[in-house]
Chains A and B, each alone.
Chain A
Amino acid sequence: MKRIDAISRITGQLKDELVICNIGFPSRELYHVKDSKTHFYMMGSMGMASSIGLGLSMSTDKKVVVLDGDGSVLMNLGSLVTTYNQNPENLILVVLDNGCYGSTGCQKTYASTVNLKKVAESIGFRKTFFFKDEINFNEVLKSKGPVFVHVKVEKGNAKVPIIDMDPCAVKTRFMKEVKS
């Protein structure tokens, strides 16, 4: 499955959940598939998607879905430890794993030799999923968090334009949606 198809299948099963999306092509692909007030697109700070999602999930009753990548989750592995300890029931951390740094020329990540789902399980995550050909996200949405979702996707980026929204506008629009 291509990453853009995984993004499309996941967001197609969402309603009013809040989405924090990783820097680079994942955010561009999400923006292209479907723009929504419930989306927070990261345009910088690689590695911070899971942390932003954790802070948000601890401050709202709404469900928070983080779309992270293998390279960026490896850059901030401590976040998994903090998330496990804070134990937010409304947080779903999705790692779209293409085994490489997709936005910079597809250099291999260590996710090709380390199983990220097993890493999450060894930290203590009680609810983990692995998807490759199909994504049953309704099952994920029914689970009590924190949930770790490992999705294996193909290498490569869709040909999608850069996001033409101002970062502050992304934040302001998203915050209104969080409050509503």
Chain B
Amino acid sequence: MKLDSSQAVYDALKKAGIDFIVSVPCVNLGKVLKMIECDPEITHVPVTREEEGFGICAGAFMGGRKPAILMQNSGLGNSVNVLASLFKLYRFPILMVISQRGTLGEGISAQIPMGKATSKILDALDVPYFNPQTPDEALEVIEKSWKLAETGSMPVGVLLNITFW
């Protein structure tokens, strides 16, 4: 049976040992967020704005947690300075699971500009990112992305396109 996309993301977060997640919802992340909320091993903090979430994750990491942020790519635009002058400057790791809107299959025109800008912003910040296309790929890539973030003491992004779901 084909692995469900949301299940694959959740399973990968668990395999990576992620135990602290901040989130701003995206419709495509809805199922994953429900799974996380029901998991007693994961502290889930819904935040008012993604930038705030990054700050919370930096604090949680200093307290010994393995942090991730779940957000839409629009949230990346809200978080450029915190990524540069907190995460890059102090070398904090974080796994960024990003619902990549404005890509193939997008029905809302407002999502297109950030969709086009996302990879360029990540490149400008020198943040590595990966773009798994299937649940099986995501299972592997998400777990390895956290390992890379931890080893390199840096943020690492995983972009999940509309067609992924």
Contact = CB atoms under 8 A, between A and B. Distances in A.
A173 B21 CA distance: 25
A52 B58 contact: yes
Interface string A53-85: 111111110000000000000001011011000
Interface residues of A, number: 35
A43 B84 CA distance: 11
B34 interface: no
Given A59-B63, A76-B52, A48 B58 contact: yes
B56 interface: yes
Nearest to A75: B51
Contacts, number: 114
B55 A55 contact: yes
Interface residues of B, number: 32
Interface in B41-58: 43, 45-49, 51-58
A51 B90 contact: no
A56 B90 contact: no
B52 A58 contact: no
Contact of A78 (B47, B57, B60, B63): B47
A22 to B, nearest CB: 12
Interface string B60-76: 11111101000000000
B91 A82 contact: no
Contacts of A47: 51, 55
Nearest to A81: B48
Contacts of B67: 55
A51 B22 CA distance: 11
B52 A167 contact: no
B52 A79 contact: yes
B52 A78 contact: yes
Given A55-B56, A78-B52, A168 B90 contact: yes
Interface in B78-102: 81-82, 84-86, 89-92
A45 B86 contact: yes
B51 A56 contact: no
Given A58-B60, A58-B63, A86-B45, A44 B89 contact: yes
Interface of B: 20, 43, 45-49, 51-65, 67, 81-82, 84-86, 89-92
17 contacts: A44-B81, A45-B85, A48-B58, A51-B54, A52-B62, A54-B55, A54-B56, A55-B45, A55-B58, A56-B59, A58-B45, A58-B59, A59-B20, A59-B63, A78-B49, A78-B52, A168-B91
